[in-house]
């Protein structure tokens, strides 16, 4: 595959991956801000991935393009986990800062453990593979997992605290525990009927005076 074909493949594949993830997240959460947040996390991780490839003289070829696409698909899960956990905590406590802190202390630990477990299997290709392209691809995937994990634990909570997206700040749980983010209609309470004075001068609810 010539260099021009490799470049054209990369130009087609990555925007399609970004577009699909943006569309699915936006439709599921019914919020363009949710899709935008995930898009920014993907762009952050992908930019740093290309920077790593440039520093290590890794070319864009038939081996690295699929790895990058898979790395984005695996890594975006971490950001979705964090974003969804912040919504759940926000629905419980209605305090954005506390929701973010609790999400990092719980889901952040789970993301770290998942990333380390996944990398433990991939790193074996780096250590024991005799084929250079397998070793480079495995190492590239490990780097992408690390970058995406950092984006989920640092970038997503920071974005939420700074921009305060309404699909998170307005979230609440209904009677069945299902989360919603549309505005709640205030419950109308029936107005109390005015007390009527009886013929003998007695008003209900007040002390009787003869």
Parse the chain into domains and list their residue ranges.
3-173
What pLDDT does residue 128 have? 85
H or E element in which residue 33 lies: helix 32-55
What pLDDT does residue 9 have? 65
- 43-63 as b/e, with b when 16 or more CB fall inside 10 Å? ebbbebbeebbeeeebebeeb
What pLDDT does residue 183 have? 53
Could you tell me the CA-to-CA distances from 2 to 37, 50, 64 in Å, in that order? 35, 19, 14
Provide φ and ψ at 180, rounded to 5°: -135, 155
Low-confidence ranges of the chain (pLDDT < 70): 1-9, 182-210
Superfamily of domain 3-173: Multidrug efflux transporter AcrB transmembrane domain (1.20.1640.10)
What pLDDT does residue 8 have? 66
Q: What is the DSSP string of 152-200?
A: IIIIHHHHHHHH--HHHHT-EE-TTS-EE-SPPPPPPPPPPPPPPP-TT
What pLDDT does residue 202 have? 46
Torsion from C-alpha of 87, 93, 95, 98, nearest 10 degrees: -80
What pLDDT does residue 65 have? 79
In three-state secondary structure terms, 31 is coil
What pLDDT does residue 3 have? 57
Give pTM, 2 decimals.
0.77
Rounded to whole angstroms, the Cα distance separating 74 from 144 reads 9
What pLDDT does residue 209 have? 52
């Amino acid at each position: 595959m010539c260099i021009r074909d490799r470049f054209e493949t990369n130009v087609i594949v990555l925007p399609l991956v970004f577009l699909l993830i943006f569309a699915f997240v936006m439709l599921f959460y019914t919020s363009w801000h949710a899709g935008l947040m995930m898009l920014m996390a993907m762009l952050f991780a992908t930019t740093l991935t290309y920077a790593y490839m440039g520093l290590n003289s890794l070319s864009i070829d038939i081996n690295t393009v699929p790895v990058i696409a898979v790395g984005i698909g695996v890594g975006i899960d971490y950001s979705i986990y964090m974003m969804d956990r912040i919504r759940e905590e926000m629905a419980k406590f209605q305090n954005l800062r506390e929701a973010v802190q609790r999400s990092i202390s719980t889901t952040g630990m789970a993301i770290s453990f998942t990333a380390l477990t996944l990398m433990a299997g991939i790193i074996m290709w780096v250590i024991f593979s005799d084929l250079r392209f397998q070793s480079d691809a495995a190492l590239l995937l490990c780097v992408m997992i690390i970058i995406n994990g950092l984006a989920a634990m640092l970038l997503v909570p920071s974005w939420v605290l700074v921009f305060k997206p309404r699909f998170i700040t307005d979230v609440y749980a209904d009677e069945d525990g299902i989360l919603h983010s549309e505005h709640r209609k205030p419950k109308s309470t029936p107005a109390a009927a005015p007390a009527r004075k009886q013929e003998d001068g007695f008003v209900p609810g007040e002390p009787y005076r003869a």
